[in-house]
Chains A and B, each alone.
Chain A
Amino acid sequence: MTTAVHPKSRRLTPHWRDYGRPRELLVRYLLLLLVLGLTVGPLIWQFLASLKGTGEDVFGANASLLPHHPTLRAYREVFSQVPVATYIKNSLIVVLLSVGSQLLFSTTAGYMLSKPAWKGRRAVWILLVASMMFPFESIMVSLFLSIRDLGLVDNVVGVWLPGFVGAINVLLMRGAFLAVPREIEDSGMLDGASEWQRFRYLYLPSAWGAILVVTINTFISAWDDFLWPLIVLRSEDHMTLTLGLSRLQSSSFGYDQRVVMAGSVISVIPVLVLFVITQRWFYKGVSAGAVKL
C-alpha cells in the first residue's frame, strides 16, 4: 500500500496521490512540520542567535528570530574570550583515544569471543555482562578514588581510561563476527592465512557495519560526556569542550549570550558532520546492531 502505484497513474514515478488521500497527507505533513519545529527549533534558534551582532537582542520583547545583520563576530569572540581552542583540543584527545582503544580492543575481544572452543570463553563473557550491570553513577565514587590513586586527577587520560573498552561494544562486535559465514574463514585457512590475517582481511571488512556503530557511539559519548569530566578535571587548561561550555553559563551573565551560543554551535558541528556522512548506513547499523547475548 505504501508505494503502490495509483491505478489511474501511467507514470513510473509515483504521483503524489499515490501516497494517500490528500487530507490525510496534509495532516501528516503538518504534524511533521510541527515536530520539526519542536525538535530542531531550539537548535536553529541557537544558531541564528550566534549570528547576531551586539546591536540585536537575543531575547526579550524586541528580539527577532532572524539576525538582521548576520556576523561572525561571536565566533571570533568565543575564541578570544575563552580558551575554546584548548577545550576543543582536550575533547579531541579524549575522543581519539576512546575511538582508537574501543575499536582495537572491542574487535579483537569480540573476534575471540565469537570463536568456539577455548577454555574460559564463558567466564570472560560472564565477566563482561556482569560489568554492564552497574550504572556508572553508582560506581563513580570508587572510580574517582582509583583515578586519584593512579595520579590521573585533572588529566584527560583519566577521563578516557575507565571506558577504554566497553563491554557492550565487545558483545556487539562478537555478534557481528558470529554472522560472518564459515566459508570465508575456511577459504582463509586454505590460503594459509594466520589468525591475525584472517581477522584483519576477512573478518574486519565483513563487520564494518558494527564497526561504524561502535565508532559513532564512542565518538558521540566521548564528545558529549559531562559528568565524568566534571568530576575528574579541575583546571581550565585540561577541560573538555562540554565542561568549558557549562562553565560559561554558570559563571554567567558576564558573558555575551551570542558568544556562548557560538560555542554551542561549534560543539555540535563535528557530531553533526559525522552523522550526516554516516547516516545512510547508520539506521541499518542500529537495527542490525542488536546484541546477541
Chain B
Amino acid sequence: MNIVLIFLITIFSVSLFFYGKSKTKTISIKDNIKLNALPKFYGYYLVLWCSIPALVFLLVWSLFEPVIIKSIIIETAANQGAIFSDKNEANLIYEKIKAIHLGTYFGDIDSILRESALAYAKFINLFTNSKVVLIFGIIIASVIYSLKKIKNNNKARDDVEIILKGLLFVSSLIAILTTLGIIFSLLFESIKFFSVINVFDYLFGTNWSPQRAFVRDASSITAAEFEELKDAFGFIPLIAGTSFIAFIAMLVAVPIGLFSGIYMAEYASIKVRRISKPIIEILAGIPTVVYGFFAALTVGPFFRQVGENLGLTVSSESALAAGLIMGIMIIPYVSSLSDDVINSVPQSLRDGSYAVGATKSETIKQVVIPAALPGIIGSVLLAVSRAIGETMIVVMAAGLAANLTINPLESTTTITTQIVMILVGDQEFDSPKTQSAFALGLTLFIATLILNYIAQRAVKKYREKYD
C-alpha cells in the first residue's frame, strides 16, 4: 500500500513539474510580465510542495499506526475478557490476533480471539482508508496553495533555496540524532550493567570470564551469585590485551609507515610516486576479514612452526601474529598521512637547510621531521585508535581467552573480540553477560574518542603554524 502511495506521489509530482514550468511560461507571455525566477524553478517549487508534506505525513503515520492499533486491540481484547498478567502476555495475544487475521495461526481459536481478530481487521481497514484520504487531502491542499503562489509570481528560486536548505538540515540532523541514539543505547545498557556490577570491580578487576554469569534475570541475583559474579567482569585483562596487540601493531606500522611516507614525500620521483602510492593505498582497501584469514591461516601457524623449531611454545593464536598483521593493515594510514604532513612542510625550510650545506638526510632528520612532528604524532594516534577498534583480525587470530600476559607468543584477547563473543548466538538481553558487551563498547568508544580528539588537536595545531 505504502509503495503504491509513494509511486503515485512521485508520478504526480513529476507531472506537476512540467505543468508548473509551462504554466508560468504561458502566464509570462500572455500577461507580458517578468517572472521572478526561471520557469523550471516554479516546476521545482510545485514538486517540493506536492511531495514533501505528503511523504512526511506518510512516514509519521507509518511510525505510529502499528503502535496505536496495538494498544486499541489489546484494550478490546481485555474488554472481551482476555486475561493477561503482564506486558509480555499481552504482546503474545496481540501477535496471535495478528496471525489469525493473516491466516497463519494454527492453534485453537476461542471466541475472544475471533472477535478481536475481526476488530483488528476493521481497524486496519479504517486506518488504511483514512491514510489514503488524508494523504490525498494533504496533496490537494499543498498543491492548491503552491499553485496560488505561482500565479502570484512568487520568488520561486528563493523559496526552492529555503526548502532545499531545510532538507539538507534535516539530513544532517538525522546523522547527529543517530549518533546520539547509539551513544544513549550504549549508555543505558551500560548503566543497567553497572547496577549489578560495581564500576570499580569492572575497571580494576583482573579476571574476565563472563560465561559465569548465566543468571537469567539481573534483578533476581542472590547474594551468593553476586559474589560469584563480582569478579567475573574484570576489565584489566581486556585493556591489557588490547593495548598489547595495538602496541605490537604500532611497532610494525609506525617505522614502516613513517619511512615509506618519508620516501614518498622526499625521495621518490614523480613517476615512482604515481605508481607506488596507489599500491600502498590498496593495502587500506583490503577487507579486514581477508587480513584475518592471512593472520589465522598463514602467519599464526608459521610462527608456531618457527617457535617449535626454536624450542619455544607458541600458541597458534598468538598476540604476535594478530599484532603483526594489524600493523601491516595500518601501514597505509601512517604512510599516507605522514606523507601529507611532510609534503606540507614549506620548501623554504629545506632550502634554508641545504644552503648551510646539509645533506638531504640531515635536512629530513633535523628540519623536516621536527617541523612535521605534531602532524606525524596526530597520524600515529589516529592509527592507534584504528588498531584499538579493529575487530576481525583479532577475532580470527588472537584467540578468545582473556589471559593477562605480556608474552607475545601466547594467545590473548581484546575488547572488540569479547564484544563479538558475547553477542554472537542466542542471548538473554537482560543478563549481565550481555550487558557487559555494552559496557565494553562504551569504554572502547570513550577511549577512541579521547585518542581521536588529541590526534585532531595535534594535526590542527600543526596546520595553523604554516597556513
Asked if A and B bind, the verdict is no
